[in-house]
């Protein structure tokens, strides 16, 4: 459980503080050493074809990718929890309508919609995470709705009603705190998905704008020169894969622990 979280935390810390320690930023051009190799002229990872420090670009790219992912996952968390909790709690026809809307959105070719949005409104980082967050909340809403419906049947919720607790008070005080664990676990699982989507959009050239960069852009650039300089592809690719795998592992462990499946599996042994 710990190891993946520590690795992600280390990567995040490096992405946040690393650029401060470097004499170059991600956009400045070192005219004396264009396309420098590893460790040349103080550039630890060399420079790209415009003479920009690869290490600085990698760190900034990681920072952008991870913050977009976190922001989008938080958007998904808020919309998903509110939507799912209301649908599950109110039930009946309201629930039917709300969940059919979710089904309908699921059916949309989401990548296509994001690309259309980009074309219509122009490229912006804000639009990227809004677009991603607006889609990723669907799963969250379904998970939360299921949880709320199960909790609604529990005797302690009936006891609260018998004690005169109003519907909204019961929802906020009894139901939501018990949903929180599961929601956080799925948040952890949403982040790596968003990392992937963001990278994919950037790879297609629809993500963040130059000179700002992200892991997706770096992988794209690296792919163009991988025959001469494989490190340019392997480094951002490696960071991307590590972050996704570690977050997924940590998220799954957290989900198992909080939803009780993990404990059930342990005691069954």
Q: Which chain residues interact with other proteins by CB under 8 A?
A: 154-156, 158-165, 169, 174, 177-178
Q: Where are the alpha helices (DSSP H) in 24-163?
A: 54-90, 92-107, 110-121, 125-152, 155-162
Q: Which two tokens stand for residue 256?
A: 């198992």
CA dist., res. 139 & res. 171, Å (int)? 20
If the CB atoms of residues 88 and 131 are measured against other proteins, the closer one turns out to be: 88
CA dist., res. 65 & res. 244, Å (int)? 11
Output the smallest distance, CB 170 to other proteins, in A. Answer: 10
| Residue position matching structure tokens 């709320």 | 148
If the CB atoms of residues 50 and 172 are measured against other proteins, the closer one turns out to be: 172
If the CB atoms of residues 100 and 154 are measured against other proteins, the closer one turns out to be: 154
Q: Which two tokens stand for residue 4?
A: 């993946």
Output the smallest distance, CB 164 to other proteins, in A. Answer: 4
If the CB atoms of residues 100 and 169 are measured against other proteins, the closer one turns out to be: 169
If the CB atoms of residues 30 and 256 are measured against other proteins, the closer one turns out to be: 256
CB 53 within 8 A of CB 139: no
Output the smallest distance, CB 262 to other proteins, in A. Answer: 16
Output the smallest distance, CB 189 to other proteins, in A. Answer: 22
CB 202 within 8 A of CB 214: yes
Neighbouring CB atoms inside 10 A of 261's CB total 11
Output the smallest distance, CB 154 to other proteins, in A. Answer: 5
If the CB atoms of residues 51 and 181 are measured against other proteins, the closer one turns out to be: 181
CA dist., res. 256 & res. 210, Å (int)? 40
Rounded to a whole number, what is the distance in angstroms from the first to the last CA of the chain?
A: 20
| Residue position matching structure tokens 């009780």 | 260
Output the smallest distance, CB 2 to other proteins, in A. Answer: 23
Output the smallest distance, CB 137 to other proteins, in A. Answer: 24
Residue 191's contacts (CB-CB under 8 Å, 6 or more residues apart) are: 69, 70, 73, 247, 251
If the CB atoms of residues 97 and 159 are measured against other proteins, the closer one turns out to be: 159
φ, ψ for residue 238, nearest 5 deg? -60, -45
| Residue position matching structure tokens 């799925």 | 186
């Amino acid at each position: 459980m710990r190891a993946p979280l520590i690795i992600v935390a280390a990567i995040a810390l490096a992405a946040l503080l690393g650029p401060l320690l470097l004499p170059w930023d991600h956009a400045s051009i070192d005219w004396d050493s264009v396309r420098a190799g590893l460790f040349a002229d103080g550039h630890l990872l060399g420079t790209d074809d415009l003479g920009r420090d690869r290490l600085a670009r990698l760190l900034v790219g990681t920072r952008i990718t991870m913050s977009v992912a976190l922001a989008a996952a938080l958007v998904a968390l808020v919309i998903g929890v509110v939507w799912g909790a209301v649908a599950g709690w109110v039930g009946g026809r309201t629930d039917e309508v709300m969940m059919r809307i979710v089904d309908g959105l699921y059916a949309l070719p989401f990548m296509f919609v994001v690309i259309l949005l980009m074309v219509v409104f122009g490229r912006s980082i804000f639009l990227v995470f809004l677009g991603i967050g607006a889609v990723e909340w669907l799963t969250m809403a379904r998970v939360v709705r299921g949880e709320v419906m199960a909790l609604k049947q529990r005797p302690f919720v009936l006891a609260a009603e018998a004690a005169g607790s109003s519907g909204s008070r019961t929802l906020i005080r009894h139901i939501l705190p018990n949903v929180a664990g599961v929601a956080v676990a799925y948040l952890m699982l949403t982040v790596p998905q968003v990392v992937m989507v963001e990278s994919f959009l950037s790879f297609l050239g629809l993500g963040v704008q130059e000179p700002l960069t992200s892991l997706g852009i770096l992988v794209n650039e690296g792919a163009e020169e991988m025959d001469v300089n494989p490190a340019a592809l392997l480094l951002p690719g490696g960071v991307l894969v590590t972050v996704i795998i570690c977050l997924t592992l940590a998220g799954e462990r957290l989900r198992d622990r909080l939803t009780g499946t993990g404990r059930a599996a342990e005691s069954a042994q």
